[in-house]
Amino acid sequence: MQISPTLGTENQSPYQIDSRREIVSLLKGLRDSNQLISMVIHNGSEVFITSILDIDDANNHIIVDAAPGNLANQRIVEAPRVSFEGLLDKIGIQFSSSEVVQITFEDRPALQFGIPINMIRLQRREYYRINTPLSTPIKASIPAEIDGKVDVLKLSLVDISCGGIAILDEKKILDCTIGKSYEHCKLDLPGVGLVEIVLQVRNHQELVLLNGKSNRRIGCQFINLSNAVLSHIQRYIMKLERERNAKMTGIG
């Protein structure tokens, strides 16, 4: 599962795109690559995962998957503004709409809104970040105090970079206070081995998946990473990149 980031709120005007042709091209890129995008309402208090189903350039419409449940879709439709955030070729894409309506598309519930007149395209990552495989999830072992005793939580990675990881806490039991640090964490990287790390929580986001289940995505930064561990993580990222490129070229 590829989960998109929250792009910042700082002045982004240098990254604004006003060309309709370029906007439509980026939207089609998100659709054709089957990217999951975040649908955000009420200043981030609710986030739903969706994907672009269709782009009708002639009639100025975008159609995306509906959220799970009629009440959730009603809240989206009634929201004064709905923001959409995604990744395309490691570039952050952000746009919004103030008029979203419920429709039926190919016999399934969907949401429709107008093609935006502008869009933000923003590359902000200091480190190259790559998604970890869904078929064989990588686990982060995190010692944490739960109900007065220390337990080791094993949480699945979403992505990894030389600067940190994103993990999923489906049961929502890890303390995700910004700045909270966890020592003696471990990553078991296939083809590389077990590495010990210190993690610090940098952000978190509540997600509602297409199947109606909720999840929590927690972004963590590596703290005081040794050169040896950094080398191991770089090696694993390169391994993932080689495997991805092999699949794209049909030789994997």
CATH code assigned at 148 = 2.40.10.220
Mark whether 115 and 21 lie in a shared domain. yes
Mark whether 86 and 135 lie in a shared domain. no
Q: Are 235 and 192 in contact (CB under 8 A)?
A: yes
Q: How many CB atoms lie under 10 A from the CB of residue 7?
A: 20
161 lies in a domain? Answer: yes
Strand-by-strand arrangement of the 101-105 sheet: 52-56, 61-65, 108-114, 101-105
pLDDT tens profile 111-139: 999 999 999 887 655 566 788 887 788 99
> Residue 43's pLDDT is what?
74
Q: Which of 113-117, 144-148, 242-246 has the highest mean pLDDT?
A: 113-117
Mark whether 54 and 148 lie in a shared domain. no
As a whole number of Å, the CA-based R_g of the chain is: 19
Tokens 């993580």 belong to residue: 233
Q: Are 3 and 39 in contact (CB under 8 A)?
A: no
Q: Are 142 and 199 in contact (CB under 8 A)?
A: yes
4 lies in a domain? Answer: no
Dist. CA 206–CA 47, nearest whole Å: 6
Mark whether 144 and 230 lie in a shared domain. yes
6 lies in a domain? Answer: no
Mark whether 169 and 212 lie in a shared domain. yes
Secondary structure element (H or E) that encloses residue 179, with its range = none
Max CA distance (Å), the chain: 60
pLDDT band at 147 (very low <50, low <70, confident <90, very high): confident
Q: Of 92, 122, 152, which residue is a domain's last? A: 122
Per the structure, the count of domains in the chain is 2
Q: Of 71, 88, 122, which residue is a domain's last? A: 122
AA identity, residue 233: I
Mark whether 28 and 71 lie in a shared domain. yes
Range of the domain at 142: 130-249
Q: Of 122, 144, 159, which residue is a domain's last? A: 122
DSSP type of residue 149: E
pLDDT band at 38 (very low <50, low <70, confident <90, very high): confident
Mark whether 196 and 150 lie in a shared domain. yes
Residue 204: name the closest of 229, 163, 236, 173 by CA.
173
* Of residues 36 and 252, more confidently modeled: 36
Dist. CA 144–CA 38, nearest whole Å: 29
pLDDT band at 191 (very low <50, low <70, confident <90, very high): confident
Q: Does the model's pTM come out above 0.75?
A: no
pLDDT band at 247 (very low <50, low <70, confident <90, very high): low
**CATH at residue 62:** 2.30.110.10
The mean pLDDT of the chain is 85
Q: Which residues is 107 bridged to in the sheet?
A: none
152 lies in a domain? Answer: yes
Mark whether 118 and 162 lie in a shared domain. no
> Residue 241's pLDDT is what?
75
